A and B are shown apart, each in its own frame.
Chain A
């Protein structure tokens, strides 16, 4: 899990990468700066819960990813079934972000499978 998060942290502009449970409990995190990981985890969990509820109410499939953009940066959230990955990126960030997120998701899914075996 740590390696997956460190891989994300190495991408230009990534300030925080974390994994938290659906309820917003922080599992692991890398990086600091723009916000406290616990706070990001809690706020992101609330947003995802509201989005899931809204999608369900409208009869739409469960949302898998969310990108929230502001004038100072971006928060990317990926569903990990029971948990989620959050990546906080500064305004000037980017680079290989998409492939790094995909790699981190694969690693986290593998780590999770190993943990449940």
Chain B
């Protein structure tokens, strides 16, 4: 590469400093240095490592993007014009990984306008629509992604089937999810992601299942209702402070509801299962709108209070304590309307 001894010495010193104390600034400085010397692949790798460790750093994010874009552009030039589809798909993936939906959308839309029915272009645009669907909860994006993916034939690989299976499972369209994952597995029998999804879907076999477009619309409405979750925190805190309550959480329950919430307010899986099964049983037995579930014994119990914004779920020290905290659980999800 024709790099002189001074550059090599400086580079080694920078690497040592980075190993001793990794900061976003040191990652950025070393990556810039590598890029200025023409070592683009190393610069991209270092920026990627730094961005993975410090995703909040705007400097590392921009370095990661520009280094990777340059790297991709060089590969495209080497491969010639035919590789433009793959280049755009990579670029869309890159922007999505960096969380830049607008840039990803611009590249994907341009490619679809250019290449029309090209499956790779449709797949890239569908990825963008799905990312937007998950981020904004706009049903239109989910439905557009569905239409793009359904137009891609199986001869183009398993990518579209994978996205369709994941989307269907995500919104609770169990029947469609079963069908898509079976077709995905037929194309990629040893894909561990397909196997994992199929195993997860087995738990929902026989459950009522809306068609995929209806499930997308329903899930969107349910997630929007769950958007008020942040406002539930004070109610949950009061519930958690009730006598005999060990901890409290909020669950979005219902068929086709949003995927399990993550974070401080999310309940553990076993608690969510009790909430969901309890809710279904109340409705099917004909007890009207679900109000609450208390289940357990003298030393351990679970309390679930249902409301328009989901369910407040609490683990309690016993059945009696759970009954006593029932009003607080209802208050946490109804703001006192049902309590």
Q: Does A69 contact B (CB under 8 A)?
A: yes
Q: Does B198 contact A (CB under 8 A)?
A: no
Given A46-B281, A61-B300; A54-B287 close (CB under 8 Å): no
Given A44-B281, A47-B277, A58-B270; A71-B289 close (CB under 8 Å): yes
Contact of A75 with B274 in the complex, beta carbons under 8 Å? no
Q: Which of A70-116 contact B (CB under 8 A)?
A: 70-75, 88, 91
Q: Which of B274-303 contact A (CB under 8 A)?
A: 274, 277-278, 281-302
Cα–Cα, bound, A61→B302 (Å): 12
B residues in contact with A68, CB < 8 Å: 278, 281-282, 285, 287, 290, 292-293
B residues in contact with A65, CB < 8 Å: 295-297, 319
Of residues A43, A60, A64, A69, which shows the largest number of chain B Cβ atoms within 10 Å of its Cβ? A69
B residues in contact with A55, CB < 8 Å: 270, 296, 300
CB of A50 to closest CB in B, whole Å: 4
Q: How large is the interface on B (under 10, 10 to 19, 20 to 34, 35 or more residues)?
A: 20 to 34
B residues in contact with A60, CB < 8 Å: 296, 300
Contacts from A to B (Cβ < 8 Å): 34-35, 39-40, 43-44, 46-47, 50-51, 53-55, 57-58, 60-75, 88, 91
Contacts from B to A (Cβ < 8 Å): 268, 270-271, 273-274, 277-278, 281-302, 319, 323
10 smallest CB-CB distances across A and B, nearest first, come from A70-B287, A72-B288, A71-B288, A66-B295, A54-B270, A64-B297, A70-B288, A50-B277, A69-B291, A47-B281
